[in-house]
Amino acid sequence: MANEAASDVSSTGATGAAPVAPKESQEAASAVSQAAPVSQVQTIPDMPPVIDARNIYSEASGPEKMSPTVANHLTRIYVPNLRGNSVSVIDPTTDKVVDTFKVGRSPQHVVPSWDLKTLWVTNNSEGHADGSLTPIDPVTGKPGKAIDVDDPYNMYFTPDGHEAIVVAEAKRRLDFRDPHTMALHQSVEVPKCEGINHAAFSADGSYALFTCEFGRYMAKVDTVNHKLLGMLKLSKGGMPQDVIAAPDGHKFYVADMHADGVFTIDGDKFKETGFIPTGVGTHGLYTNRDATRLYVANRGSHMVHGPRHSKAGGVAVIDLATDKVITTWPIPGGGSPDMGNITPDGKHLWLSGRFDDVVYDINTQTGEMKKVPVGAEPHGLTVWPQPGRYSIGHTGIMR
């Protein structure tokens, strides 16, 4: 176990728990799942209830948990090509690209909206002034008119669905916006969080942890009152990437591309609690459908821009009951697995091959994989549709 790293900016220590969600939110959630009674987790107002306190992902556990909202959505993989300024659209039944369309400059992620009705392409222009969000209609798979937004590297949604959080990476800022019009509500400055990019939310929705890619820090943010609660410096490494909440919504896993592994963090206490070595260039994190395993994409390099065909590129699988790596899947011939998601049945893990201009279709039972050529430098692809009541954002983190 790693030494606990102390927070160098004091945290309030409070989780900001609020009364349980109102009756109408509970009824809406119950319409999707009657599998288990509502737990006693106290959530922020208007957030759908936590059905199982042991597993915040219980309502996204398989195809039977599909929302009626996505019933007529196309089954597609949407791949943003960072250097191609485009999105490649793949039919996963054939592993073929069936469409490619232009979007804004430097598209980073394809982000499902909280209400599951829109897929947003975050075109951040890598810090330039012409950032935008391109909406995709998941019924047709076609893009709509872009909305000008400052520096949208990534995007999340508060668990109550009231606001989008645009992660302005180059600005070291979080912009809380209307989730439909993207009108700005309020900004939270995070000056010590250089390269702020990925996030995960607590079980009750009251706070989120954000990674600081170029600063070795984690930031804890109050999602209700829109304020920075504290900063935590990791004990080693120095390039935290993706972060995901454990099934209990209190423990968090943080991929660090320089540490070559995954840190564990107690989110409530905001303390580092352990470290799991996984492979070179640890980057993306995704749970399987029953939230018992964690898929870890190891990009194969410590470099931000390459190299191509890294022999060290692969995927590690962590048993979440023991926090031990139980198997690894190397990329045949080398590769650069980055961001993605799993299919509704959990049988396939799709990841972008960031520096190889391909995406990987990985069989989660055998580790066998196929490569599908796409545009230049694919990044945060999404697999759609996904089971679940609502989307937290990123590449489709569902609850």
The pTM of the full predicted model, rounded to 2 decimals, is 0.91
d(CA 27, CA 42): 16
C-alpha pair distances (Å), 206 with each of 15, 45, 90, 242, 271: 6, 10, 36, 20, 17
**Euclidean distance between CA atoms 257 and 243, whole angstroms:** 12
The dihedrals phi and psi of 62, each to the nearest 5 degrees, come to 175, 180
Q: What's the distance, Cα to Cα, between the start and end of the chain in Å?
A: 30
Cα–Cα distance, 78 to 54 (Å, whole number): 31
Inter-residue contact 41 to 204 (CB < 8 Å):
yes
Largest CA distance in the chain: 54
Do residues 373 and 358 make contact, with C-beta atoms less than 8 angstroms apart?
yes
Both tokens of 304, joined, read 């931000």
Contacts with 88 (C-beta within 8 Å, 6 or more apart), sequence order: 78, 79, 81, 97, 99, 100, 374, 375, 378
Provide the CATH number for the domain formed by 7-391 in this structure.
2.130.10.10
Beta-sheet strand order (sheet of 251-256): 240-245, 251-256, 261-266, 271-277
- pLDDT tens per residue across all 399 residues of the chain: 433 333 444 333 333 333 334 343 444 444 334 444 556 799 999 999 999 999 999 999 999 999 999 999 999 999 999 999 999 999 999 999 999 999 999 999 999 999 999 999 999 998 777 899 999 999 999 999 999 999 999 999 999 999 999 999 999 999 999 999 999 999 999 999 999 999 999 999 999 999 999 989 999 999 999 999 999 999 999 999 999 999 999 999 999 999 999 999 999 999 999 999 999 999 999 999 999 999 999 999 999 888 888 999 999 999 999 999 999 999 999 999 999 999 999 999 999 999 999 999 999 999 999 999 999 999 999 999 999 999 999 999 999
Give the dihedral of Cα atoms 278, 279, 280, 285; nearest 10 deg: -50
Strand partners, 100: 88
Query: To 5 degrees, how large is the angle CA 389–CA 196–CA 78?
Result: 45
Q: What is the dihedral of CA 328, 331, 336, 338, to 10 degrees?
A: -50
